[in-house]
Amino acid sequence: MNQVEIARKLKISQTTVSLVLNNPSTSKVSKEKRQKIMDMMRDSNYLLKAHNGKTWNIGYVLGSRFNISNSFYNRFFKGIQEVASEAGYNVIVDNVDIRTSKLIIHRKVDGIILEDKLDIKTLNDLTRKIPLVVLNDSIWENICDSVVPDNQGGIIKALDHLIGHGHSRIAFLGILPPDKKIDGLLKDRKNVFENELSSRGFPINRNFIKMSAIKTVSVEETKKTIFEILVSWMALSEAPTAVICSNDFYGALLLQAAILEKIKVPDALSVIGIDNTDRCECTHPTLTSIDHNAVEMGRLAVELLLNRIRNADRSFVRVSCASSLFIRKSSGPLKIK
């Protein structure tokens, strides 16, 4: 089947078919018509013939240490799937170490959206093999396209909320792995927190910045470490009255520790997490959290990847989209000082 036959079957012009073939996301053709053209092209194998073996697949690869069943990643996938489908691409999800992924080894995809934490050399090697976009990690080196969370915007909103409710002793909580290596996201969130506090004239109390390393990677060890951090804070002559946690999991565990220590939340201690995951509605009290708009981040990742596939030599791009603060019952006015 050729373009003329496709146009005849769909009762449209050959020019329209050509427009969609050369740019599946073109705004010059309606979404519904684009979809019909792409479906017929795919069913007839025209795409493979027209593009010298182009697969019309993109990969969404989550590193093997990530739990793919976690609903957190579904939001990224929703945005990825929406834009990929509109552009005529299938999405293949892989939950492996990307260095061993068959998607790359057997060239089953035209590009990769990667969610993992890799060293710079590995990323450099990958970008030479295949178009790639890193999603949801803070990559500062100019070696690949990336979509990063809006840490600065989110933490500004969290600080506005806390300071507006009378908090001035605000702490930051992060947990390090046993090797004590700090990843890009945690480092970025800590730096943004400190810079924003300083810019508002608040002194940085080093006792309030906790980045403790756990001995083993487990829920129980993390829970124990966070409990010890809270106890150490409460032993200070002037304890924190609010905490921004580097993710919702740590926020949920801090709320559990507060209950054990009979600390009233939010009257004596406000707690804010990051990521706005499903667990925020299941904690007691419910957890205030920074939302980085994962669906839109997924959309942006596909747009960057398609641009990279079309133009391999363009400059690398680093983008984000605006964060929001979802206020729940774990944060509010300071009542017990």
Peptide bond into 266 cis (omega under 30): yes
Peptide bond into 177 cis (omega under 30): no
Q: Are 135 and 113 in contact (CB under 8 A)?
A: yes
**Six token digits for residue 329:** 């019952």
Q: Are 62 and 103 in contact (CB under 8 A)?
A: no
Cα separation, 39 vs 48, in Å, equals 13
The answer to whether residue 140 sits within a structural domain is no
Looking at the fold, whether 42 and 156 belong to one and the same domain comes out as: no
pLDDT along the chain (337 residues), means of 10: 78 81 75 81 59 79 86 92 91 90 88 90 88 87 90 97 96 94 90 96 94 94 97 96 97 97 96 96 97 96 93 90 96 86
In the block, tokens 């927190």 appear at 193
Residue 196 sits in a domain whose CATH number is: 3.40.50.2300
**Number of folded domains that form the chain:** 2
Cα separation, 273 vs 94, in Å, equals 28
Looking at the fold, whether 34 and 161 belong to one and the same domain comes out as: no
Select from 50, 70, 88 the last residue of a domain.
50
Looking at the fold, whether 35 and 157 belong to one and the same domain comes out as: no
Cα separation, 88 vs 109, in Å, equals 13
Select from 271, 292, 313 the last residue of a domain.
292
3-state DSSP percent of the chain in helix, strand and coil, to 5? 45, 15, 40
Beta bridge partners, 175, equal 212
CA 104 to chain centre: 22
The answer to whether residue 85 sits within a structural domain is no
Exposure of 105 in the CB half-sphere (CA atoms within 13 A):
8
Return the closest-CA partner of residue 324 out of 276, 272, 271.
Answer: 276
Q: Are 89 and 58 in contact (CB under 8 A)?
A: yes
Task: Give the H or E element holding residue 271.
Answer: strand 270-274
Looking at the fold, whether 27 and 159 belong to one and the same domain comes out as: no
The answer to whether residue 330 sits within a structural domain is no
Looking at the fold, whether 156 and 287 belong to one and the same domain comes out as: yes
Beta bridge partners, 176, equal 213
Sequence-ordered list of residues with C-beta below 8 angstroms from that of 6, at least 6 positions apart, any chain: 17, 37, 40, 41, 44, 46
Under DSSP, the state recorded for 319 is: E
Q: Hey, how many other C-beta atoms are within 10 angstroms of the C-beta on 217?
A: 11
The answer to whether residue 251 sits within a structural domain is yes
The answer to whether residue 329 sits within a structural domain is no
pLDDT of residue 53: 59
Return the closest-CA partner of residue 278 out of 67, 70, 65.
Answer: 70
> What is the domain range of residue 17?
3-50
Under DSSP, the state recorded for 173 is: E
Looking at the fold, whether 161 and 283 belong to one and the same domain comes out as: yes
Cα separation, 277 vs 246, in Å, equals 13
Looking at the fold, whether 164 and 45 belong to one and the same domain comes out as: no
The answer to whether residue 277 sits within a structural domain is yes
Cα distances from 140 to residues 122, 304, 318, in angstroms, run 15, 17, 9
Three-class secondary structure of residue 32 per DSSP: helix
In the block, tokens 């450099």 appear at 124
pLDDT of residue 197: 95
The answer to whether residue 252 sits within a structural domain is yes
For 235, left (φ over 0), alpha (ψ -120 to 50), or beta?
alpha
Whether the CA torsion 318, 324, 329, 332 is positive or negative: it is positive
Cα separation, 162 vs 263, in Å, equals 18
Residue 19 sits in a domain whose CATH number is: 1.10.260
**Six token digits for residue 190:** 């800590």
The answer to whether residue 172 sits within a structural domain is yes
Looking at the fold, whether 155 and 287 belong to one and the same domain comes out as: yes
